[in-house]
Structure 1
Amino acid sequence: MSRGVHRIILRSNARITEDECVRSSAELLKLTGGKPAAVLLQITGVGSVSRAAISLCSGGTPVTAFAILGGTHVDRVMAHSLIRLAPPECPTRYFTEEEEAVIWLRMW
Structure 2
Amino acid sequence: MGEIPPDGVQGIDATLSRGPDNILRLRWSRGISITEADARLAMDEVNELCSGVSLPMLVDMATTKAVSRGARTVFGLPCSASRIALLGSSQVDKVIANFILGVSSLPCPTKFFTSEPAAIVWLKEG
TM-score normalized by structure 1?
A: 0.89
Residue in 2 aligned with 1:17? 35
Offset, 1:32: 0.8
1:79 to 89, 92, 97: 97
1:66 to 55, 79, 84: 84
Contact residue 34 and residue 61 of structure 1 kept, 8 A: no
Q: Which has the larger radius of gyration?
A: 2
Q: For residues 15-62 of structure 1, what are the alpha-carbon distances to aligned partners after superposition, in whole Å with 9 as ceiling and x for unaligned?
A: 100111112112211221132111111110111001211111221412
Structure with more contact order per residue of length (Cα contacts < 8 Å, sep ≥ 6): 1
Structure 1 residue runs of 5 or longer lacking an equivalent are none
Residue in 2 aligned with 1:104? 122
Cα RMSD of the aligned pairs, angstroms, is: 1.5
Residue in 2 aligned with 1:56? 74
Report the count of equivalent residues. Answer: 107
Q: For residues 79-104 of structure 1, what are the alpha-carbon distances to aligned partners after superposition, in whole Å with 9 as ceiling and x for unaligned?
A: 111212142x5211111111110110
Offset, 1:2: 4.3
Task: Give the ranges of 4+ consecutive aligned residues of structure 1 lying more than 4 Å apart after TM superposition.
Answer: none
